Structure 1
């Protein structure tokens, strides 16, 4: 699930596909997709690739990559050991879900002003 299928930058179809993939993987892993969807929206607007088709890199830190802006410095080696390719949409999503389950959502604290209310409302349910 990488490359052209998930490469239409900003298109409704690409966003829909990414959100569907996040939801499906979350169901498979038996986790709530709502916080993940909120974080992905805030981190990348659900984009894995930039307008040139290259993996999306962070505005403030070029080592943050993809949908969940996974930081290469801190997570590349671990993601590879687990068999996740953070440079693909599916691998980025799967590693983010693994990371959130293992260590919580604190890794995305920089974007918390964007997703924090959504996630706290989910926790109240």
Structure 2
């Protein structure tokens, strides 16, 4: 069953919804970035690039040693494993029902952003994760 789920997630990310920001110009980007589905720490199938982004953004960590949710070193509005900026994305995440402070909600909203915009929300850390992608 997990293989079928991973295949469906992969297909959903390769073919963006019609009528939204993602269009034909992004299809090649999505195909390149969804090569290799991996399993996250939450046991969720995620594109390999998202694992690399999480590693660069937070060392793939959602909580600090004291149990508090990890926040950004440079911008404390960056939340969790995927460093979702609550100033930029908080209202949209809440409107869609995602709790970016929970591990599951942070990852689910990150996958939602990736589906809609590819890696653009993480362009500031591209210097870190793109060098790993070049090896593909």
Report which of the two has the higher share of strand: 2
Q: Which runs of 5+ in 1 are unaligned?
A: 1-17, 27-32
Q: Which residue of 1 aligns with 2:110?
A: 96
Do the aligned partners of residues 100 and 120 (structure 1) sit closer, same or farther apart at CA in structure 2, a change above 3 Å counting? farther
Residues 1:24 and 2:24 aligned together: no
Relative contact order, higher structure (CA 8 A, sep 6+): 1
1:19 deviates by: 2.4
Q: Which residue of 2 aligns with 1:85?
A: 99
Q: Which structure is larger by alpha-carbon Rg, 1 or 2? A: 2
TM-score (normalizing by structure 1): 0.72
**8 A contact 1:25–1:94 mirrored in 2:** no
Alignment: residue pair count:
98
Flag as ranges the 4+ runs of structure 1 deviating above 2 A: 18-21, 23-26, 117-122
1:118 deviates by: 2.4
